[in-house]
Amino acid sequence: MSDKKILGLSWPLLIIVFAVIVGAMALGVLPGGMIGAFLFLMVVGGLLNFIGNNTPFVKTFLGGGAIVAIFVGAAFVYYKVVPEQGIKMVDAFMKSGEGKMGFLDFYIAALITGSILGMNRNLLIKAAIRYLPTILGGVVAALGLVALAAPLVGFSPAEAMAYIGIPIMGGGMGAGAVPISEVFAQALNTPAESILGKLVPAVALGNAFAIVAGGLLNRLWQVTPSLRGNGQLMRTDDDSLKAKEEVIEMSAADYGTGIVIATAFFTVGAIVAKLFGMIGLDLHTYAWMIIAVALVKGFNLLKEKYGKACAGWYKFVADNFTPALLLGIGMSYTNLGDIINAFSVQYVILVAVVILGAIIGSGFVGKLVGFYPIEAAITAGLCMANMGGTGDVAVLTAADRMELMPFAQISSRLGGAFIILLASIIVPIFFG
């Protein structure tokens, strides 16, 4: 344990820094703005993430550090562990509004831009032809089944789809539930915090169920060996559909390039959202940003070096800021009281129905387009229903399919983006 570091800090130095934070908060002198918020969120978030990722049952079945950081952060606020000054500081740092871009927006801009521009273009185009319909099959089946099952357990179909089905299939927290809550907030004129409190339990439970389901699907070969590809998704050896991992060498200037391009794409999304909003088409900034980045990548409109800079910047942000973001999400966007009130036997049943629908829909459509059904169900189904990157690792580990990580990433990146787009379109129509 002593050889494992948090943020590159030795344990003695980490303890000293933590003591500085506690002392400053106790005296009411923790600096406001970015300095205090960054210090608190990165150190405490990193510590909670470490605990979650090294706690056996939690890391295997409950999403690891992500779940711990979010729910402990929510508990900090709910039980008033953190002084009011600290809570307000984190809120101001995390949230956007009145034209302000908060830390959450900053993170998501890096994530969307870097993940899409950093993908192999041929993989993106060629895999999309078969893979995206497979994802769509899982989404349609998941939302359709939960809508049908909802009245049987006392939920309305719209409520089950909006607050259980969509967030589970949304690709995790930072790039899924959180931006989806913002989309809901804009469409329904409701605070994002209250909506997120309804989405988080679904994401957490869905992730746990997806991991268990991955292990169960791995055992189906004993009964139906013809349905499994032993880690191969397609029934053909098409090298163009194989993703290649590459090490991105980054200079200081490249990080600056990544920041500028990511924030510029976010701004483009804001411009387009404003213009279309004037004619009554209210799609969230994130949705337009995703469309803009995908078009630029698909039509090869940006030099490769700029795409690599964005991918490298996103990797830096994901590696260093994710625990901080998750703690901030817990403190600023997650109402623990709402979560406690949401849990019920009926709720758990609907979550399980969503996971079952994702498996059935993606497996069926996958078979139609030339995929092995079990591999399709794992990647296009369960990797849509888990908690993003950490969920992908957990599901594929449980399913013994780590070689399918490139396709799992497509589900988490593009599939999650598709759900944001879907939410932007259907929420104002059906839930307004």
- Determine contact, residues 235/229, Cβ cutoff 8 Å: yes
Cα–Cα distance measured from residue 190 to residue 306, given in angstroms and rounded to the nearest whole number: 38
Indicate the residue among 44, 59, 94 that finishes a domain: 94
Convert 187-229 into a string of H (helix), E (strand) and C (coil): HHCCCHHHHHHHHHHHHHHHHHHHHHHHHHHHHHHHCCHHHCC
The per-residue pLDDT for 44 is 95
Residue 1 lies in a domain: no
- Determine contact, residues 362/377, Cβ cutoff 8 Å: yes
Tokens for 116? 């899409």
Range of the domain at 26: 11-94
Cα–Cα distance measured from residue 382 to residue 232, given in angstroms and rounded to the nearest whole number: 16
Indicate the residue among 44, 63, 94 that finishes a domain: 94
Angle of the 285-298 helix axis to the 178-188 helix axis, nearest 10 = 130
Residue 5 lies in a domain: no
The per-residue pLDDT for 415 is 73
Residues 45 and 109 grouped into a single domain: no
Residues 132 and 237 grouped into a single domain: yes
For 20, 27, 186, 193, the CA distances from 429, given in Å and listed in that order, are 50, 50, 13, 22
Residue 276 lies in a domain: yes
Kindly state the helix (H) or strand (E) to which residue 376 belongs, with its residue range: helix 373-376
Residues 351 and 297 grouped into a single domain: yes
Residue 182 lies in a domain: yes
Phi, psi (rounded to 5 degrees) for 172? 110, -155
Cα–Cα distance measured from residue 408 to residue 172, given in angstroms and rounded to the nearest whole number: 13
Please give the model's pTM, rounded to 2 decimal places. 0.73
Considering its fold, how many domains does the chain have in total? 2
Residues 180 and 286 grouped into a single domain: yes
For 64, 169, 206, 343, 428, the CA distances from 387, given in Å and listed in that order, are 10, 9, 8, 19, 25
Indicate the residue among 94, 128, 156 that finishes a domain: 94
Residues 51 and 198 grouped into a single domain: no
Cα–Cα distance measured from residue 212 to residue 216, given in angstroms and rounded to the nearest whole number: 6
Residues 145 and 33 grouped into a single domain: no
Residues 388 and 338 grouped into a single domain: yes
Cα–Cα distance measured from residue 390 to residue 52, given in angstroms and rounded to the nearest whole number: 12
The per-residue pLDDT for 130 is 84
Phi, psi (rounded to 5 degrees) for 302? -125, 135
Residue 391 lies in a domain: yes
Residue 299 lies in a domain: yes
Cα–Cα distance measured from residue 372 to residue 364, given in angstroms and rounded to the nearest whole number: 9
For 80, 187, 258, 265, the CA distances from 279, given in Å and listed in that order, are 44, 15, 32, 22
Residue 3 lies in a domain: no
Closest to 346 (Cα-Cα) out of 197, 170, 146? 146
The per-residue pLDDT for 175 is 62
Residues 78 and 218 grouped into a single domain: no
Residues 204 and 269 grouped into a single domain: yes
- Determine contact, residues 395/382, Cβ cutoff 8 Å: yes
Residues 262 and 405 grouped into a single domain: yes
Cα–Cα distance measured from residue 104 to residue 94, given in angstroms and rounded to the nearest whole number: 6
Residues 210 and 321 grouped into a single domain: yes
Residues 266 and 123 grouped into a single domain: yes
Residue 6 lies in a domain: no
**CB-based burial of residue 247 (10 Å sphere; 0-12 exposed, 13-18 middle, 19+ buried)?**
exposed
The per-residue pLDDT for 162 is 84
| The residue type at 124 | L
- Determine contact, residues 269/294, Cβ cutoff 8 Å: no
For residues 408, 414, 416, 418, the Cα torsion angle rounded to the nearest 10 degrees is: -140
User: Tens digit of pLDDT per residue, the chain (432 long)?
Assistant: 556 788 889 999 999 999 999 999 989 899 888 899 999 999 999 999 899 888 887 776 666 787 788 889 989 999 999 998 889 999 889 876 655 678 888 888 888 888 788 877 776 677 678 888 999 999 999 999 999 999 999 999 988 988 899 889 986 766 677 778 877 887 777 777 778 777 888 888 888 788 888 888 887 766 677 788 777 777 766 565 555 556 677 888 999 999 999 999 999 998 998 898 888 766 677 778 888 988 898 889 999 899 999 999 988 988 889 889 889 888 887 777 766 776 788 999 999 999 999 999 999 999 998 888 999 999 999 988 887 766 777 788 778 787 777 677 678 766 777 888 788 777 777 665
